[in-house]
Amino acid sequence: MYESIRQNPDIWSKFIGKDEDFMMHSSVDSFFDYDRCQLSDVLCPEVSRSLIDSGFEVVLPEEKKFAVCLTHDVDDIYPPLPHTLLSVLHSVKGANLGQLKKHALWRLNGKNSSPYLNFREIMDIEESYGAKSSFYFLTAEKDPRRFRYNIEDAESYMGEIVDRGCEVGLHGGYFSYASYDKLAEEKQKLENVLGKKVIGFRNHYLRFKMTDSWEILSKAGFRYDSTLGFNNAVGFRNGLCHPFRPFDVGGSKELDILEIPLVAMDAALFNCTASFKDAWELIKGILDTGEQYNGIITLLWHNSSFSTPFRKDWKNLYIKILDYCNQKNAWITSGEDIYRWWNNTYINYP
């Protein structure tokens, strides 16, 4: 796979992240630098295109043309106060009494009434389109903004997620991306509550450091990561719309972990656009690009996006995406499924 792109210095540099200083404010927080780059710079998967031109071939299950990897970062299972106030305000404006009661009274009715314990609703939506997804849960105790939740409170919900064929993975803490000890501790805590091993990972706020984070994740026992993406833009951060095994800093040693790049996050997508229509046109173009290159388009929709009246467009767009991909006969599945297929299926590398 890699020999063909090694021969092109520009493509190789993009693949291994040598242009990170140009594309990013830093190698830790994945913010797109609009002052230096145009969004169009990351909407073409140049590395994947180069591989395809060199004879790279991806054969998806059931001869699907492309895949969509559905993921959810579970930042909160209880709405923080600002979310509750905004939801109540929008419910009042919309004269929606049922919605108003749901968001205004859940604390009085008990923790299990939280609007953000909505995993069954999300899976019901996905299953109606023949889809599965991954849910990444936090176990870290420290967060720069607020305490999030105790993972024990989500135990029964995680059990249902697994029972329905979806994946539970770890959402690494804000300070964990560069610490093996923290990641190993958080992973063990999640596995103790879940009752099974976890293989998938994405770090909180998409904090990540090439290539240190990959090496630490591999050492901690994760089989794949899906952090490599943008916080405030959408697109192909290192030019790939396919999973790949990263290299060490010198570009000589392949690391024992699979990266399934993140292509579009809900908040970033709406940050890039001025309207629902614009957001749809942008993500539709990305999906069509994935189909063109037999690629895998990884989406991140936070669980909270499905239960906040002030973000109803985010939920509606997700459903529109699922409908579009289902009509195009895409493979719509979890990060775990993508990993197991990629790891076990023969690929005809050039």
Domains present along the chain, CATH in parentheses: 3-77+116-344 (3.20.20.370), 82-115 (no CATH)
Torsion of CA 148, 153, 157, 161, to 10 degrees: 60
Question: DSSP strand E in the chain: where?
Answer: 67-74, 134-137, 167-172, 200-203, 224-225, 258-259, 262-265, 296-300, 331-333
Query: Residue 125 has which token pair?
Result: 């939506």
Burial class (CB in 10 A: 0-12, 13-18, 19+), 81: exposed
Residue 334 C-alpha from the chain's centroid: 10
Max distance between CA atoms of the chain, in angstroms, equals 63
How far is residue 350's CA from residue 2's CA, in Å, rounded to a whole number?
8
Question: DSSP strand E in 91-247: where?
Answer: 134-137, 167-172, 200-203, 224-225
Using an 8 Å Cβ cutoff, are 36 and 300 in contact? Answer: no
How far is residue 237's CA from residue 229's CA, in Å, rounded to a whole number?
6
pLDDT in tens, the chain (350 residues): 677 888 888 888 888 776 554 443 345 666 666 556 667 779 999 999 999 999 888 989 999 999 999 999 999 999 999 999 999 999 999 999 999 999 999 999 999 999 999 999 999 999 999 999 999 999 998 898 888 999 999 999 999 999 999 999 999 999 999 999 999 999 999 999 999 999 999 999 999 988 889 999 999 999 999 999 999 999 999 999 999 998 876 667 788 999 999 999 999 999 999 999 999 999 999 999 999 999 999 999 999 999 999 999 999 999 999 999 999 999 999 999 999 999 987 454 43
Spatial neighbors of 149 by CB under 8 A, at least 6 apart, are 76, 77, 78, 138
How far is residue 111's CA from residue 77's CA, in Å, rounded to a whole number?
9
Torsion of CA 236, 237, 242, 248, to 10 degrees: 170
Query: Residue 290 has which token pair?
Result: 């994935």
> Any idea what the Cα angle at residue 37 is, between residues 39 and 261, rounded to 5°?
55
How far is residue 236's CA from residue 85's CA, in Å, rounded to a whole number?
35
Residue 15 C-alpha from the chain's centroid: 19
pLDDT at residue 6, as a whole number? 84
Amino acid 239 reads G
Q: What region does 280 belong to: left with phi over 0, alpha with psi -120 to 50, or beta?
A: alpha
